[in-house]
Chains A and B, each alone.
Chain A
Amino acid sequence: MIQNDPTAPSALSIDNVIKSYGTTEALKGVTFDIRPGEVFGLLGPNGAGKTSLISIIVTLEQATSGRVKVFGSDPALQPRQAKTNVGWVPQEIINHGYFNVEEIMEFHAGYYGVRDPKPRIKFLLDGLGLWEHRAKKVKQLSGGMKRRLMIAKALVHSPGLLLLDEPTAGVDVELRTRLWDFVSLLRSEGLTILLTTHYLEEAERLCDRVAIIHKGTLREMGPTRQLVEKFSRKKIIIKLQSPVSTMQHADLVSGAGTDWTFLVGMDKPLGALLREVNVSSDQLSDVQVAEGTLEDVFLKFTSNEVKA
């Protein structure tokens, strides 16, 4: 349910944000906007700058320069307006040693000024399968329940923008599917979501748009489907009968010995590739061809240095 009203403020506006730690630049002028109701995926390898950016949005860190706005308010300058609109699910589980699930939810709702949080708490704990565990402490919950509690907590004050920082890391497939079903339900109510994830098929399935960040720079951004189509490459895996030490080709992604992987344009014939890498059909053991995915786009913008 994306709002296309051009006069409405962006749910999240990141404007030329730079973050330096000493001489290391974690973010080198990142700029993007998320429209209200949009699910936006921020993809990148470890250390790309995703968590730094989220830490700046929630004011755990201060940007070296640049501006962040949540529904038109700067979280650092107008914290009340901005922060009441943000729900944040951090990458690591928060323990809350002394308190049970219900108490954690009540305190958290209170921090955001919610006067009567009980109906919302019941709705969220029910929806995420935690209501019967409401009297348990965090350490008594399973890993999946802890993760769901983090999401319930982030939603207890009904934010307009949900920041999900690797929410499904280490979560089994069944639970991941349940989580996304619940997030899809919230999305249908108009929630805007910024998602960072390593599961690219997840991003491909859920995100309206994705941005790929690498070494602190946005490498590419656009509607997920369009990106996949624009940068879709045929993956060709050539398996040789006997190993070779090196292979020179611009489309080479990875390889060693007998197995070599290429990402080529959709119109490039297999024969042409084999000629360009000087491999005759006699040397081949097997060839596998696969259509491109978001993972290909991701690799294109984050793994250039892998190429020989």
Chain B
Amino acid sequence: MKAISRDLTWTPFLSLLRREVARFMKVIAQTVVTPIVNSTLYMMIFGVSLGQQIHLEGDIPYLAFLIPGLVMMACLNNAFQNSSSSIISSKFSGDLEDLRASPLSLNQIIWALNIAALMRGLMVGAITFLVGQAAYLFTFHELLPVAHPFILFVYLILGALAFASIGICVAFWAKNFDQMSAVGGFVLLPLIYLGGVFFSVDHLPPFWKTVSMYNPLLYMINGVRFGILGTSDVPTAWALPVSIAATIVTMAFARRVIGRGNFQRW
């Protein structure tokens, strides 16, 4: 048999990454168009319509408060959906078995899945931001300036990697589609909503404010808010370490789950 040229360091990782990106690009209507519709509805109903009746400290328009929350929510949701739906559909079709049988290492699998999810999260986050800018321009006749672009980018990356890792864990754990959607609906959605996407935790009763302070998403969402508006509900000195720690823990957990997980088809 003729000898072939192999590279087991980058080629397997890049192939899986290309596959994962190609997968979500093939369903572009679902991955991009749907978030545009969702974001537009949120902006119009909450930001433009109801937002005129909401007054925040520091005279920040509610729409300006809402945009960072929606950007992060879109980014997190899409990162989670990308890694989890990729694994679930691969379990269903059987091609998850190919990953186990191939020489792909755990690190190559987890980074390829996470980076693809990050790319989708950032893409949909950027689209949501553009929709938000359009709504802001329509309402206030000016664009919303970005206070700290680098910090914004850092929090989006940390959040997307953490949620992609959670998506991997849940997809390996789930035995069927019901379990998968139950985790999304009963655990992640409340965490996102209670993480201060739509409201400031300062407006919560003291007990619920204390509870919210234990939600790592509060720090990630406020990190993005600080990146765009330059203000945050939580101390910025806390937000970065909590977000980094949450990302490292979820990625480590995902690595463990992939190492011990069942790759066999449903």
Contacts and interface: CB of A to CB of B under 8 A. Distances in A.
A125 interface: no
Contacts of A92: 94, 265
A84 B93 contact: no
Contacts of B22: 98-99, 103
Given A107-B15, A115-B5, A97 B100 contact: no
B8 interface: yes
B15 A60 contact: no
Interface in A213-253: none
B93 A110 contact: no
A176 B166 CA distance: 45
A98 B103 CA distance: 23
A115 B11 CA distance: 7
A107 B14 CA distance: 9
A97 B23 CA distance: 9
B1 A88 contact: no
A148 interface: no
Interface string A89-110: 0101111111100010011111
Interface in A118-174: 120, 157-158, 160
A178 interface: no
A97 B89 contact: yes
B237 interface: no
Contacts of A97: 89, 93
Q: Interface size for chain A: under 10, 10 to 19, 20 to 34, or 35 or more residues?
A: 35 or more
Contact of B12 (A98, A112, A120): A112
B98 A115 contact: no
B101 A113 contact: no
Interface string A179-210: 00000000001110000000000000000000
B2 A58 contact: no
A83 B263 CA distance: 16
A58 B6 contact: no
A96 B19 CA distance: 11
B18 interface: yes
A60 B97 contact: yes
A76 to B, nearest CB: 11
Contacts of A103: 22
A211 interface: no
Most A-side CB within 10 Å, residue of B5, B95, B102, B264: B102
A107 B11 contact: no
A158 B5 CA distance: 11
Interface string A53-97: 001001111000000000000000001100110101010111111
Interface in B209-266: 263-265
A111 B16 contact: yes
Contact of B264 (A60, A86, A93, A114): A60
Contacts of B102: 83, 108, 111-112
Given A79-B105, A83-B103, A160-B1, A94 B11 contact: no
Contact of A58 (B12, B89, B95, B101): B101
A61 B89 CA distance: 21
B98 A94 contact: yes
A116 interface: yes
B66 to A, nearest CB: 34
Contact of A94 (B5, B12, B16, B94): B94
A110 B9 CA distance: 11
Contacts of B5: 114-116
A111 B1 contact: no
Contacts of B12: 110-113
B187 interface: no
B234 to A, nearest CB: 40
Given A58-B101, A110-B11, A158 B2 contact: yes
B26 interface: yes
Contact of B11 (A79, A83, A86, A114): A114
A255 to B, nearest CB: 41
A120 B4 contact: yes
B93 A94 contact: yes
Contacts of A108: 98, 102
A48 to B, nearest CB: 19
A116 B92 CA distance: 30
Contacts of B98: 94, 108, 111
B99 interface: yes
Contact of A158 (B4, B15, B94): B4
A90 B101 CA distance: 11
Give the residue among A109, A110, A158 with the most B Cβ atoms within 10 A. A110
Interface of B: 1-2, 4-8, 11-12, 14-16, 18-19, 22-23, 26-27, 89, 92-95, 97-105, 263-265
7 contacts: A60-B100, A60-B263, A106-B15, A111-B15, A111-B16, A113-B7, A191-B1
Given A60-B263, A103-B22, A111-B99, 11 more contacts: A86-B101, A90-B94, A94-B98, A95-B94, A96-B93, A107-B18, A110-B11, A111-B12, A114-B6, A115-B4, A116-B5
